[in-house]
Amino acid sequence: MAEDNIVSLVPALLREIRDEVRSTNTRLDKLDERLSGRIDETNTRLDRLERRQTEADIRLSTSLIELQKAQNATTEAVRALIAETRTLHARLDHVFIGPMGAKVREHEDRLDTLTIRMDAVERRAG
């Protein structure tokens, strides 16, 4: 008789298990829908972030290229100034040290002599 009770309970237990499995499947389906929506939102945000990052990388690269061009132009200008300064130094050396320098020094000596003589004349006259 106890076996008959157990046998009669088996279909009821199986139905109860089936109902719980269906309930669990329904909850899992709802969870799947919610997670799918969140995953889609996350993917959309990641796509936007990736696009913004790419745009920022392009802007940064462009700025770096422009900065490099400006630096190259500045370097060339400085090199040109250095070359021009060297040329000017050579010309000044020629004037002060070379043959022109002797004439310049000779003129300065003559000017000093004339200044001294003028001072003497002014003192006598004055």
**How many residues are present in the chain?**
126
- State pLDDT tens for residues 91-116: 777 777 777 777 777 888 899 999 99
Per-residue model confidence as pLDDT tens digits over 33-49: 999 999 999 999 999 99
Span 61-66, mean pLDDT?
97
Output the CA–CA distances (angstroms, integers) from residue 74 to 34, 87, 123, in the order listed: 59, 20, 59
Direct distance between the N- and C-terminal alpha carbons of the chain, in angstroms, rounded to an integer: 161
**Gap between the Cα atoms of 46 and 53, Å rounded:** 10
When the pLDDT of each residue in the chain is averaged and rounded to a whole number, the result is 89
Burial of 54 (0-12, 13-18, 19+ CB in 10 A): exposed
CA distances to 67, 76, 87 from 63, rounded to whole Å, are 6, 20, 36
What is the DSSP secondary structure assignment for residue 98, as one 8-state letter?
Answer: S
